[in-house]
Amino acid sequence: MFVIFGASGKVGRVTAATVRNAGHAVRAVVRNDAQGERLARIGCEVVLADLTNPASVAKVIDGAQAVQILCPVPNGDAQPESTMRHMIDVAAIALRANPPPRVLALSDYGAELDRGTGITLLFHALESQLQPVVQNLTLLRAAEHMQNWARVIPVAFATGVLPSLHHPLNKRFPTVAAQDVGQLAAELLLDDSHGSVPRVVSIEGPRRVSALEVARALSDASRREISAREVPRSEWTSTLLRAGLSANHADLITELCDAHNAGRIDVEEGIGERRFGTTELPEVLASMLPDGAAVAG
């Protein structure tokens, strides 16, 4: 049995489908019944779980051959850092009490750093908590997901300007399609070789991109003129608060963007394995356009 936490997410659903298509039983862990409908149709056992509840997590990993674990950012949470740390504690307790033969943790570029990385520091905590309690552990560190740009596409269409916290606009940074992360995660889960030390695998897309290139690709996909704009550092917090983030969440994102712009969020050189996805940014952006967007404005 392969247990996939976050199986309805952009990464998890690809992992679940790939493992299921390989002929294995999959227990897809979701937060509500509606999220499990598509997974049930492909033959997954769909279960509900609360990642903040030790008994709930322990129940779903029982009998697992392999587990894909994550620490999702809770939407609308006033204190996402506290909630995420609690979820990490719960996962570590459950895995220590009933360790499966293999565990893959979805992590981020920069997770090796222990300070000054904002929300990525939570993935450092995840890795640090799991390493002492999981014998055969794979840490899959992914670059920023291309799908994250979906958050500002409506603004770009409304104003013709793509706001960016990546500074400067011509600086190229690593990014990756979520589906490529899910595909690689499945391949790693299906690899039954055992190691005495954690396996670290990093993945990014086929090429690095800049905010200018994101705006150009979005213009091409939508057939609208869209330019990129640096959001001034002094406006970051107010911009994030207007977008609906809590003050704590905004602080975490601000610190992460500072680290990104300083060049600190990247692959850990000389550590583990490097992989590259095949999905290009224009394909991802085109898939996220709202109905009727690809019409000249």
Model confidence pLDDT, tens digit, residues 1-11: 999 999 999 99
Average pLDDT for residues 59-68, to the nearest whole number?
A: 96
Q: How far is CA 84 from the centre of its chain?
A: 14
Average pLDDT for residues 156-172, to the nearest whole number?
A: 96
What phi and psi, each to the nearest 5 degrees, are found at residue 106?
-80, 120
Is 27 within 8 Å of 64 (Cβ atoms)? yes
Contacts of residue 21, Cβ cutoff 8 Å, sequence gap at least 6: 42
Token pair recorded at residue 161: 């300007």
The pLDDT of residue 290:
74
CA distances from 194 to 9, 11, 53, 178, 189 (A): 27, 24, 29, 26, 11
* Rounded Cα distance, 81 and 35, in Å: 24
Of the candidate ranges 49-63, 151-165, 170-184, 188-202, the one whose mean pLDDT is the lowest: 188-202
Q: How far is CA 229 from the centre of its chain?
A: 25
Under DSSP, is residue 28 helix (H, G, I), strand (E, B) or coil?
strand
List, in sequence order, every residue forming a beta bridge with 173; answer none if it has no partner: 209
Under DSSP, is residue 138 helix (H, G, I), strand (E, B) or coil?
strand
Residue 98 buriedness (CB in 10 A; 0-12 / 13-18 / 19+): middle
Please choose, from the candidates 33, 220, 198, 29, the residue with its C-alpha nearest in 3D space to the C-alpha of residue 129.
198
Is 236 within 8 Å of 243 (Cβ atoms)? no
Q: Is 80 exceeded by the pLDDT of residue 296?
A: no
* Rounded Cα distance, 116 and 111, in Å: 11
Task: Label residue 249 by pLDDT band (50, 70, 90).
Answer: very high
Is 31 within 8 Å of 46 (Cβ atoms)? no
Average pLDDT for residues 285-289, to the nearest whole number?
A: 91
Average pLDDT for residues 70-93, to the nearest whole number?
A: 93
Summarised one tens digit per residue, pLDDT across range 192-233 is 887 778 999 999 999 999 999 999 999 999 898 999 999 999
Is 225 within 8 Å of 86 (Cβ atoms)? no
Is 204 within 8 Å of 267 (Cβ atoms)? yes
Summarised one tens digit per residue, pLDDT across range 17-45 is 999 999 999 999 998 888 889 999 999 99
Amino acid at 294: A
Quote the mean pLDDT of the chain. 94
Residue 134's region, left for phi above 0, alpha for psi from -120 to 50, else beta, is beta
Summarised one tens digit per residue, pLDDT across range 256-284 is 999 999 999 999 999 999 999 999 999 99
Amino acid at 133: V
- What share of the chain has pLDDT > 70, as a percent? 98
Task: Label residue 295 by pLDDT band (50, 70, 90).
Answer: very low
**Domains of the chain (ranges, CATH numbers):** 2-145+176-204+264-278 (3.40.50.720)
